[in-house]
């Protein structure tokens, strides 16, 4: 099997293992640098999340880029969508986010943006990947490069620039779309869960303009508590505070701020599907839906039926916000998203942005003057059971037996029941989704398939 570096969203793995130890980050920097040297400005921008390994990875990358003659803009701790925007703002050839998104602190990763703030093409990812494995195979002791410096001993050194107040630049961009909105929302109580991640400063800075009773939780990162029983993967945390404090609305982000999951005043979860339905139904001030809405193979059939009932086309991409964006381009749509909370408004920013979506939801709530439980109660969801089944051999996940199961079951609707079996692109798991109108049938089929999968992996 060909060695792989990239998953569904950049590069990701344990921070103590290849490619995130110092030696391999140096190789990564040279591999990325070889792509940058082909670009016009030979500049890039780096941001990071709050996990403890992000600082050392940033330092190694920055120093190596500097040695290779590349101009490096440092944004510090910033959300992934903010880095997408800042990459465009500062005319950089590449944006890099040091983050493992929703994963725990033991993991880290690199996400990449091109000069337009879009995820890299498969061709560009392949170039970096090939460079990485080529350099790794040819250099036995890479730490001796301070003396050897490969082929760039006479190269002019780069430049390191620390961006002044990047959060204010991002804030100005975001609020430029909401100049006509009055955010005096009759003083509602709103709970915001920052997941101890990269939004922990941005939230206070940006949401302070909303004139609401803001209750911010999990905004004290210590390097190890990012995503720990908090954020968009653990909505119960947000729900408990909403109920305890009698709040009107709850918001939770993931570790790098490109996802958003909400809850209403009763504590009912509002996932990415419900948010897409809400945008389609209510948000006409900022959004004109073009050619339909893009979801994924994980999207609830209730959402599809709801949109079709409104006369809106619904398209399904493979799982992953990059695939959503690619299908949006193919179908010429401007709105798309995932059940997990990546919501992309292409006319504003070409990636998921939790803070942006939160602001739009605030404007909807303000305009309708209804309880959030009424606003988001737009369709009846089909019952879904999702299971994560750990691979015993993560180095050889594409087993013939699993592939047979996917061909037999995937996306074949029988008795109003649908199945999706897929390999995770970020973790050593098989993801299983079973969906249908009757929960009893869904449970039986989910258990049956889980047992089948576990016997062959």
Cα 246–195–345 angle (5° rounding)?
90
d(CA 194, CA 22): 29
The DSSP bridge partners found for residue 119 are: 113
Could you give the CA distance from residue 349 to residue 211 in angstroms, rounded to a whole number? Answer: 25
Give the phi and the psi of residue 251 in degrees, each rounded to 5: -130, 135
C-alpha distances out from residue 319 to 290, 306, 407, 414, Å: 22, 21, 17, 22
Beta strands at 335-337 and 293-296: parallel, antiparallel or unpaired? parallel
Instruction: Report the distance separating Cα 182 and Cα 28, nearest Å.
Output: 47
Distance, in Å, from the CA atom of 270 to the CA atom of 55, rounded to the nearest integer, reads 34
Pair of tokens at residue 143? 């730490």
**Residue 286 neighbours by CB distance under 10 Å:** 18
Indicate if 232 belongs to the active site. no
Write out the DSSP string of 138-163.
Answer: H-S-GGGHHHH-TT-TTPPP-EEEEP
**274 token code pair:** 């419900």
Question: By the 8 A CB rule, do 251 and 272 touch?
Answer: no
Exposure class string for 394-427: b at 16+ Cβ within 10 A, else e? eeebebeebeebeeebeeeeeeebbbbbbbbbbb
Q: Which DSSP symbol is given to 258? A: S
Sheet holding 335-337, edge to edge: 314-317, 293-296, 335-337, 343-345
Residues 6+ away with beta carbon under 8 Å from 17: none
CA pair distance 435, 375, nearest whole angstrom: 24
> In angstroms, rounded to a whole number, what is the distance separating the alpha carbons of residues 91 and 78?
18
Other CB atoms within a 10 A radius of the CB of residue 153 amount to: 8
Please, are residues 213 and 240 in contact by the beta-carbon 8 Å criterion? no
The active-site residue, picked from 53, 84, 99, 101, is 101
Residue 431 has φ and ψ, to the nearest 5°, of: -95, 130
Q: List the catalytic residues.
A: 101
């Amino acid at each position: 099997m060909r060695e792989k570096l990239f998953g569904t969203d950049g590069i990701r793995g344990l921070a103590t293992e290849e490619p995130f130890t110092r030696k391999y980050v140096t190789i990564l920097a040279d591999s990325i640098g070889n792509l940058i040297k082909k670009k016009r400005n030979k500049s890039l921008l780096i941001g990071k999340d709050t996990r403890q390994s992000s600082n050392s990875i940033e330092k190694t990358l920055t120093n190596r880029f500097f040695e290779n003659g590349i101009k490096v803009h440092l944004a510090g701790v910033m959300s992934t969508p903010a880095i997408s925007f800042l990459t465009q703002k500062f005319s950089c050839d590449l944006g890099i986010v040091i983050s493992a998104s929703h994963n725990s602190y033991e993991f880290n990763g690199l996400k990449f943006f091109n000069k337009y703030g879009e995820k890299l093409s498969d061709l560009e990812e392949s170039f970096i990947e090939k460079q990485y494995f080529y350099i790794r195979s040819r250099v036995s002791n890479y730490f001796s490069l301070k003396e050897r410096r490969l082929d760039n001993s006479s190269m002019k050194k780069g430049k390191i620039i620390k961006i002044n107040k990047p959060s204010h630049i991002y804030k100005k961009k975001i609020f430029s779309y909401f100049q006509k909105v009055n955010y005096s929302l009759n003083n509602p109580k709103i709970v915001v869960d920052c997941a101890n991640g990269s939004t922990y400063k941005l939230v206070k800075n940006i949401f302070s303009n909303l004139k609401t009773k803001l209750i911010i939780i999990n905004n004290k990162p210590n390097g190890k508590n990012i995503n720990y029983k908090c954020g968009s993967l653990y909505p119960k945390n947000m729900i408990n505070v909403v109920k305890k404090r009698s709040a009107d609305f709850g918001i939770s982000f993931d570790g790098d701020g490109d996802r958003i999951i909400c809850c209403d005043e009763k504590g009912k979860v509002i996932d990415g599907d419900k948010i897409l339905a809400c945008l389609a139904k209510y948000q006409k001030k900022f959004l004109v839906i073009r050619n339909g809405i893009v979801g994924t193979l994980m999207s609830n059939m209730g959402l599809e039926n709801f949109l079709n009932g409104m006369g809106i086309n619904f398209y399904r991409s493979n799982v992953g916000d990059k695939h959503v964006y690619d299908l949006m381009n193919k179908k010429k749509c401007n709105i798309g998203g995932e059940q997990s909370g990546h919501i992309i408004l292409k006319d504003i920013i070409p990636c998921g942005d939790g803070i942006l979506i939160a602001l739009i939801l605030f404007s909807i709530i303000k305009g309708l003057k209804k309880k959030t439980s009424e606003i988001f109660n737009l369709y009846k969801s089909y019952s879904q059971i999702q299971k994560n089944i750990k691979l015993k051999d993560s180095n050889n996940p594409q087993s013939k037996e699993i592939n047979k199961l996917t061909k037999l079951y995937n996306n074949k609707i029988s008795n109003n029941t649908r199945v999706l079996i897929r390999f995770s692109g970020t973790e050593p798991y098989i993801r299983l989704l079973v969906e249908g109108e009757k929960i009893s049938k869904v449970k039986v089929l989910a258990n049956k398939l889980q047992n089948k999968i576990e016997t062959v992996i």
